[in-house]
Structure 1
Amino acid sequence: MAKVTLKQKFLKAGVKKYFRTGAEELVLGSYGKKETPALKASYLFQFSKLNIQSGDVKEIGPFEFDFNNTTKADAILNADAKVAEGNVVLTYESLKSGRVVFIQLSLSMLPIIEALNSDSRATDYLKIQEKPRIVNTIFVAVSAEFVERIKGSAGIELNSQKNGVEISLKPSVGGGTILKLVLPKNSTIAYGLAIPVWDGSRTKVVDLNPDLKGAG
């Protein structure tokens, strides 16, 4: 199983580092401006979030907690931080014991672009920012037991963001039960950002470029 290392400024999964500052307030589709304070961690200053009704989500993981390279001080888990799924409390000890693991959820590009281009408030805000960014990837903690239940899932789909983000995990064979994963507030542990790419007249977003610069 791949491992995750937690530091005060970032979460490291494999060779990539993801932002941690302000993570608890963010969800897939949150947008705003990237702040890069000197000698401090870069982070997203959230302006609002996109109304993404549906879209394919890629799940990567599970990731085991690398407690050998993460001190309790580095983990600095927010007191309000929650496990996204499972009857277990998110603590350094529950991560170290293996009862809680991490999964990465990344929203596909098309629903983000469609949501941006149908939301004039979002595009009007982002086009005047020096460093406009959108959250397209998050890391959440789930129980190890829940991971066993989703191993046979062939597809994952984001259904709505009305009352938190709801994820459907579809079985790989017909007739199986579709599992629902509702990500509660304060369940995001780390996040990745995307940069909107505009058309020539800067009226529509036509692409997204990943941005992990300054994560650590």
Structure 2
Amino acid sequence: MISTQAWADAQRLWDFQLMHHELHPCDVVVGLGSHDLGVADRTATLFHGGLAPLIVFTGATSPTTRGKMPRGEAVHYRERAIELGVPASSILVEPHARNTGQNITFTRDLLRARGIEVASVLLVSKPYEERRANATARKLWPEVDVLSTSTLMSFTGYVNSIGDARLVVDMLVGAQQRLLIYPREGFMVEVDVPTEVRVAYERLCAEGFTSRIVGANAG
């Protein structure tokens, strides 16, 4: 059972992660692999809406996705997008990345190897990782403009769609921890984190929502 305070703190982290970028057409839309097929759905919607002429899906597997997506996250995303009417010829697959940094660098390198010039990227992630993914891309792919987006869903709606509230809160805490510690490791640009967000994060850690933090068997 998640307490009222913990739920409010998780909502605060959720709200902070969402960047509310005003979207416009970009050279490529990149779907970051995860357990959530909603990323593939959102990417397909953006493609059909004319926001980019090319999709890259990136991701191998993790302990979370190995059973659900045995052929790899990017491959399953591609299959989902094709089901949704995206032409196979408009999709590239990067099947090796196992973390957000690799998602960015391997996608960048794949496009360069194909001779595809990119000046702008539309980055699609899970809702609770928009800001983390954006900060990572700005560090590792600084020559491109990056817009971030995710499935258009409320926190409560997302929890209901996943069916595991504690897992979602644990992942929110893990994403927030990385925003705090990864800039000094050189993995992402520095992010200004408001005091109230830090306090919410610290309370959630104190209540044990820590299975996805670095050093706690994070996937």
TM-score range, shorter chain: under 0.3
Q: Which has the higher contact order (CA 8 A, sep 6+)?
A: 1
- Point out the structure with the larger strand share: 1
TM-score in terms of structure 2 length: 0.23
TM-score in terms of structure 1 length: 0.23
